Amino acid sequence: MAIILAISLSGLTGCDITSLLTTGVQYSNPSWAPPYSPGARYYYLPDIETYYDLSNQDFVYLDNGQWLFSSTLPSFYSGYDLYNGFVVTLDYNIFQPWMHHQTYISHYPRYYYRNTYRDQDMSTIRGFNENERKPIYWRQEDRNRINDLRKNDNPGKRQEIIRPPQKPNYDSKNIGQPVKVKPNMRENKRGNKKNDHQN
């Protein structure tokens, strides 16, 4: 009966059946994160190219050619402000997004939002939600809550849980191959000094 209802609702609303069925899964949201989007399992922090897995409550980051898992950010990101960092809530259907890292860094390069939302007040934007396909805006109550939590909470004090490192998955044929130099990438050897000076 539940499946028939889901299929019926999918036909009426045009939403994805998988998304509809998976939105019932809820994870514990960390104190630094934006408001939780029901069903979401992963966040992506584009400025430090790091993922957060809500299911395991750990950060996933690339170090020395391997994906490492830690309940705290590594020391080389110690200056990063989790409470004010831009956060992408990833699609409900993705599993282990770090295994598709090239896709995520091409869609969400570091500080991309500064250009994407340059016509808006950046202080009002907290992140982006792939499931709703729209920005996540700060609410004043969230700002107040975050400020209170920052005074009392240190994400670095949680107990460290060690998970084995995971090698990245390079599935593109172009990884590690020479770049094909196209004509517009070559030096202009026709001696056109005017163009050379303009470039």
Q: Which residues pair with 51 in a beta bridge?
A: 44, 60
Ranked by mean pLDDT, the top range of 73-87, 151-165, 179-193 is 73-87
Higher pLDDT, 97 or 187: 97
* Residue 93 in this model has a pLDDT that exceeds 90: yes
User: Are 70 and 160 within 8 A, CB to CB?
Assistant: yes
* Residue 42 in this model has a pLDDT that exceeds 80: yes
Percent of the chain scoring above 90 in pLDDT: 49
* Residue 157 in this model has a pLDDT that exceeds 90: no
Confidence class for position 49, pLDDT limits 50, 70, 90:
very high
pTM attached to this predicted model: 0.69
Higher pLDDT, 71 or 143: 71
Q: What is the DSSP letter of 108?
A: S
Confidence class for position 25, pLDDT limits 50, 70, 90:
confident
- Choose the weakest-confidence range: 86-100, 128-142, 165-179: 165-179
Q: Which residues pair with 43 in a beta bridge?
A: 52, 89
In whole numbers, what is the pLDDT of the chain averaged over residues?
79
Give the mean model confidence (pLDDT) for residues 54-76: 95
* Residue 33 in this model has a pLDDT that exceeds 60: yes
Higher pLDDT, 191 or 29: 29
- Strands of the chain, DSSP E: 42-45, 50-53, 58-63, 66-70, 87-89, 125-129, 134-137
Listed by start position, the domains of the chain span 42-173
- Strands of 50-196, DSSP E: 50-53, 58-63, 66-70, 87-89, 125-129, 134-137
CA-CA distance, 194 to 197, in Å (whole number)?
Answer: 5
